[in-house]
Structure 1
Amino acid sequence: MAKKILVVDDEPEIVFTVSVLLKAKGYEVITAENGAQAKQQTIETKPDLIILDISMPEGDGHSVCQWLRSSEQTSKIPVLMLTARDSIKDMKQAIEERASAYMTKPYQPKDLLKKIKELLEVKELIEKGSQA
Structure 2
Amino acid sequence: MATGNPGGATDRAALPRKRLGEIFVEKGLLTSVGAERLVDLSKRIGKRFGTVLEDLGLVTGEELAEALAVQYRCKVVKEFHRLRFAPDLFTLVPVEAAVENTLFPLKVESGKLAVAISDPTNVRVISNIGANNGLVVVPFIATRRDIRRAISLHYLGRQEQTSELKRILVVEDDKRVRTSLATLLGREGYEVVTAEDGMEGFRELVASTPDLVITGKDMPKIGGYAFFDAVRSMPETARTPVILVSATATAEEEAGAFEKGFFDFMPKPIKEATLCVKVRRAIASSSIV
Task: Return the match for 1:97 from 249, 257, 260.
Answer: 260
- Going from structure 1 to structure 2, the CA distance change for 1:84 and 1:99 (only over 3 Å counts) comes to same
* Secondary structure in 1 matching 2:235: coil
Q: Which amino acid aligns with 2:255?
A: K
Could you tell me how far apart the structure 2 residues matched to 1:33 and 1:93 are? 24
In the alignment, the residues of structure 2 paired with residue 28 and residue 44 of structure 1 have an alpha-carbon distance, to the nearest angstrom, of 14
2:159 counterpart residue number: none
Separation in 1, partners of 2:204, 2:217: 17
Amino acid corresponding to residue 81 of structure 1 in structure 2: L
Displacement, 1:89? 4.2
Does residue 8 (structure 1) correspond to residue 171 (structure 2)? The answer is yes
Q: Distance in 1 between matches of 2:187 and 2:241?
A: 21
Do residues 52 (structure 1) and 212 (structure 2) align? no
Instruction: Assess if the C-alpha contact under 8 Å between 1:69 and 1:98 holds in 2.
Output: no
For residues 1-132 of structure 1, what are the structure 2 equivalents within 5 Å?
1-124=164-287, 126-127=288-289
TM-score after normalising by structure 1: 0.89
2:182 and 2:262 mapped to 1: Cα distance? 21
SS at match of 2:183: helix
RMSD: 1.3
- 1:122 maps to amino acid: S
Counterpart-to-counterpart distance in 1, 2:214 and 2:248: 14
For structure 2, which runs of at least 5 residues remain unmatched after alignment? 1-163
Shift of 1:68: 1.5
Deviation at 1:25, TM superposition (A): 1.0
With the length of structure 2 as denominator, give the TM-score of the two structures.
Answer: 0.42
5+ residue gaps, structure 1, are: 128-132
- Identity across the alignment (%): 29
Moved over 4 A (4+): none
Bigger Rg over Cα:
2
